[in-house]
Amino acid sequence: MSLISWISSIINTVWPLLKDLWVDWGIHFLVTVSLACEICLTILGIRRKYMTSKFARFITWAAYLLLSFIVKIALGKLTVVRIDDPKDPSYDVELEGLLAPLLLMQLGYPNGITAYAWEDNLLALRQILNIGAAVVIAVRILIRCWDGSSPVSPLYIPLFIAGFIKAALWVWALKSVYDENSIVNAEYHPKVATKEVRESSGQLELFPGDKKFDSAKDILKAYFRFDCLKPHLVNWPYHPVFVERDWMSIDIYSANRAFTVNEIELNFMFDALYTKAPILYTKRGIIGCSVGFFCLVTALCRFAVIFKSAFLIDMYITYTFALLIAFTCLELYQITTLAFSNWAVVGMGKSLRMPLFSRIFSRLLPFLADRCMRNKRWSRSMGQLNLIKECLSTQERRKPVRVVLQWFGKWKAVRAGLDWFCKWEIFSWLLSHSHQPMPSCLRALVLGKMVKLEEKRKYLPFNERGKWTLEIYGVQENRALSSSIEAKFAKSIITWHIATDILQSLEIEKSDACEGSKFLSEYMMYLLTVHPDILFRPTANITLEYAHHTLTRFLRYRDSKEAISMLSSADGDVPLIVEPSDATRIHRGWHVLLEVQELVVNLRRMDNKWELISSIWVEILCYAAFDCHVYRHAYLLRRGGELFTHVWLLLRHKTDNFPYENPDSCLQLPEIALLGRRFF
């Protein structure tokens, strides 16, 4: 018998069995797969804010897209369930009818991942139509499977209520973000009664002076600042004087505590964009969530009573009962996580005014706040990429992956395929960057330098990338330093990165400013290489490829010590590596090695060079973060977070975006006095 005949006989034997299995258990298989997707989203969705794993991101992305697709297929299959006697459906048909409201519940997505990306919030109106159609289909399925004489059919009602509430909460969460974006403009302010202004005192004043309430105060302060700035909304009217009041300011905080408040504030932004948390902690949200869970538990208990003696006899009954338990446990897990979140601390904080709850919440609040403070809020790591190490031939031989890429690169088809994604050299770099834990000294360094730069900025847009630092240290007349920061942004980053690496290798005793400068230098190179779109540099890949080619040829016949000695000495003869005819128009006249040598020589003469270098890197980081659109920062939030976004938020709090004059006098107006106190 030939191989083809053997395969054909197996297919002819197995295919009818698979068809019968699909007819009997196809719907149950689809529901199981959709439940698996929902479990993945429940576990991974809320953890996106600190996960950097590409595999975890892929699983989350695939589960988010597949869930609604599979649910719709399952609902379509339920509409054509065979019913021999419409007036008296069999019990297995009634059990399949129970799956329709459960599928409707899955269309509501888990609480921790309302939207996968920023763009999903703009599709609320479309999702209303999709959910409406799904509700109609589910009602049609329940009517077809209804048997008035059976004890199973009444279970349709609580399950349908639970499914409808879950789907409605999802659409509401999407719509709330869309509505805020649609009405926000320079003339919008919430209308609040003057009486409410007089009665509304700072919530932080309600806390005792005991240190055990410090965590709760920090969470509430982060919420106040978030609600006042609304960083996820582009044109929200805001002036820094709104957060300069004692109960809003973090200026007197230590670096670690200020960064912690900033982290919590970014968590509120993440929740507002990607989860249901902002609506679940409203009165309607709490009522809806409670009613839905109560209906689900009621259906589960009633089902257990009806089939208490048939769980292990009939497979359909066993499967349906297991499914109800899984859905109930999943909802219980989500409700439990809601009770231990920053939003719960905010809710308890506003309830301290109520005599009925003040004593209970004053005891629970410190415990809950301390537990929330221990939660991981972002990856707390920084991408690092060192250009010189990438160009050293010794480093090239130590990377087996790079050798394989270079070998396959000899084939035009493979090289063309890689070029479809990006430049050949840049693609190989994507495998070379690493993530390192953010050193604690870097927080103090960044905040300290930002305070000095704010004295120069004075609430204006951050539109300088080194000029203010040169003025602070009185070296603005130095031609080498001035020309290095006036160059194109990508060229300036590369030049300062190479110079910082050379100077750091020559340093014997490395200070915090030295170590911080190296971290920021390699971090900016990482952003320029891996996320050039975030820096809005369309020619970054071309510039990087040119610099990489130049450095590689320079280091080909020199070891690192010889190369560093040549680039750090004024007498070093730096050769012209790339002929003028080989340079593109973008790099015509740019001799990167000569500029690096001139910069290093000038910096070595300074006694406070590392204070200046670290300030330059902080200013470059601030310039790039401020220039980046909020959409890109929202993108980074769901990919583990970045220091880049933390700096952006700190800058937003110190930037005047208020459309009227005399913001200090506006603090007396009810609309402005309560700006940032919607729930207080």
Question: Tens digit of pLDDT for each residue in 336-349?
Answer: 998 889 999 998 88
Mean pLDDT over 306-335 rounds to 89
Q: Is residue 1 a part of any domain in this protein?
A: no
What percent of the chain has pLDDT above 90?
45
| Domain shared by 364 and 408, yes or no | no
| Domain shared by 553 and 589, yes or no | yes
Checking if the pLDDT of 550 tops 80, the result is yes
Checking if the pLDDT of 415 tops 70, the result is no
Residue 207: what pLDDT?
Answer: 64
DSSP state of 435: E
Structural contact between residues 99 and 25, judged by C-beta atoms closer than 8 angstroms: no
| Domain shared by 329 and 439, yes or no | no
Structural contact between residues 108 and 163, judged by C-beta atoms closer than 8 angstroms: yes
3-state SS assignment for residue 657: strand
pLDDT tier for residue 192 given thresholds of 50, 70 and 90: very low
| Domain shared by 563 and 488, yes or no | yes
Q: Is residue 403 a part of any domain in this protein?
A: yes
Checking if the pLDDT of 413 tops 80, the result is no
Backbone angles phi, psi at 114, to 5 degrees: -65, -45
Checking if the pLDDT of 195 tops 50, the result is no
What percent of the chain has pLDDT above 70?
81
Q: Is residue 652 a part of any domain in this protein?
A: no
Rounded to whole angstroms, how far apart are CA atoms 517 and 497?
A: 9
pLDDT tier for residue 676 given thresholds of 50, 70 and 90: very low
pLDDT tier for residue 258 given thresholds of 50, 70 and 90: very high
Residue 656: what pLDDT?
Answer: 84
Checking if the pLDDT of 302 tops 90, the result is yes
Helix and strand counts by DSSP (H, E) for the chain: 32, 2
Residue 657: what pLDDT?
Answer: 78
DSSP state of 149: T
Checking if the pLDDT of 425 tops 50, the result is no
- Look up the pTM and report it: 0.86
Structural contact between residues 516 and 629, judged by C-beta atoms closer than 8 angstroms: no
Checking if the pLDDT of 549 tops 90, the result is no
Structural contact between residues 286 and 243, judged by C-beta atoms closer than 8 angstroms: no
| Domain shared by 64 and 137, yes or no | yes
Residue 431: what pLDDT?
Answer: 52
Q: Is residue 73 a part of any domain in this protein?
A: yes
In this predicted model, what pLDDT tens digit does every residue of 79-118 receive, in sequence order? 887 776 666 666 778 888 899 999 999 999 999 999 999 9
3-state SS assignment for residue 50: coil
In this predicted model, what pLDDT tens digit does every residue of 438-465 receive, in sequence order? 998 999 999 999 999 999 998 889 999 9
Q: Point out the domain boundary residue: 318, 339, 360.
A: 339
| Domain shared by 290 and 422, yes or no | no
Checking if the pLDDT of 254 tops 80, the result is yes
pLDDT tier for residue 363 given thresholds of 50, 70 and 90: confident
Q: Is residue 310 a part of any domain in this protein?
A: yes
| Domain shared by 79 and 165, yes or no | yes
Rounded to whole angstroms, how far apart are CA atoms 35 and 41?
A: 10
Mean pLDDT over 591-612 rounds to 90
| Domain shared by 507 and 625, yes or no | yes
Checking if the pLDDT of 665 tops 60, the result is no
Backbone angles phi, psi at 284, to 5 degrees: -65, -35
Q: Which helix (H) or strand (E) holds 138?
A: helix 124-145
Q: Which of 21-30, 261-270, 422-431, 664-673 has the lowest mean pLDDT?
A: 422-431
Mean pLDDT over 654-679 rounds to 58
Determine the structural domain holding residue 367 and report its residue range: 194-259+266-275+343-378+658-673
Mean pLDDT over 254-267 rounds to 95
Residue 393: what pLDDT?
Answer: 52
Residue 194: what pLDDT?
Answer: 37
Residue 564: what pLDDT?
Answer: 82
Q: Is residue 4 a part of any domain in this protein?
A: no
Q: What is the residue-averaged pLDDT of the chain? A: 82
Checking if the pLDDT of 426 tops 80, the result is no
Highest mean pLDDT among 76-80, 113-117, 121-125: 113-117
Domain total of the chain: 3
Q: Is residue 117 a part of any domain in this protein?
A: yes
Residue scoring higher pLDDT (199 or 651): 651
pLDDT tier for residue 650 given thresholds of 50, 70 and 90: very high
- In DSSP notation, 212-272 reads GGHHHHHHHHHHHHHHHH-TTSTT--B-GGGG-STTT--TTS-HHHHHHHHHHHHHHHHHH
Q: Is residue 651 a part of any domain in this protein?
A: no
| Domain shared by 150 and 212, yes or no | no
Q: Which of 69-83, 355-369, 480-494 has the lowest mean pLDDT?
A: 355-369
| Structure token pair of residue 180 | 């805020």
Within 8 A by CB and 6+ apart from 153, the residues are 94, 97, 145, 146, 147
Checking if the pLDDT of 506 tops 90, the result is no
Give the number of other Cβ atoms within 10 Å of residue 571's Cβ: 6
Rounded to whole angstroms, how far apart are CA atoms 414 and 406?
A: 10
| Domain shared by 405 and 299, yes or no | no
Checking if the pLDDT of 297 tops 50, the result is yes
| Domain shared by 413 and 327, yes or no | no
Residue 237: what pLDDT?
Answer: 79
Rounded to whole angstroms, how far apart are CA atoms 277 and 262?
A: 19
In this predicted model, what pLDDT tens digit does every residue of 139-168 receive, in sequence order? 999 988 888 788 888 999 999 999 999 999
| Domain shared by 37 and 167, yes or no | yes
Backbone angles phi, psi at 51, to 5 degrees: -90, 135
